[in-house]
Amino acid sequence: MRLRAMTVEDLDDVAALEAQISPGPWTRGIFRDCLLAGYDAWLGVDQQDAELIGFGIVSVGAAEAHVLNIGITPQHRRQGYGRSMLLHLLGRARQLGAERAFLEVRVSNLAAQSLYRSLGFHEIGVRLQYYRNTNGREDALVLSLSLQDFPLESDPS
């Protein structure tokens, strides 16, 4: 997987992937707003045919990072791509001055929780009815990670 910065030209593909994988998907407009706000947004693409493998977005400010969204195509899951994307986002956050990272994860998303915990994230709270899904709403776990000793990411672009 090759990482590159997300651009406006990528929004249709990213929104289509999000609609495929999320029970409460972000819209194209939300992804556009992230780019307009200057959030650090990345794509993972196949090195040979540039096919979209996944995406990740992190916002950084006031020495804090918030991992906003990560998505990996179903056929590329459980192959380390989500871990690679998350490590990249956390390294970029550290490079941009973040000392701590936060994220929310659906209580039903055990695979993502396992990934986050394997990297040292720990639970600091619960947001009730945070996520939309096909049955209404779902709680989110709020996780945190200190980035004090996290390696700085070099910019691959």
Q: Annotated catalytic sites, by residue?
A: 104, 116
Nearest-10 crossing angle of helices 110-118, 81-95:
50
Burial class of 114 by CB neighbour count within 10 A (0 to 12, 13 to 18, 19+): exposed
Angle at 110 between CA 127 and CA 152, to 5 degrees: 80
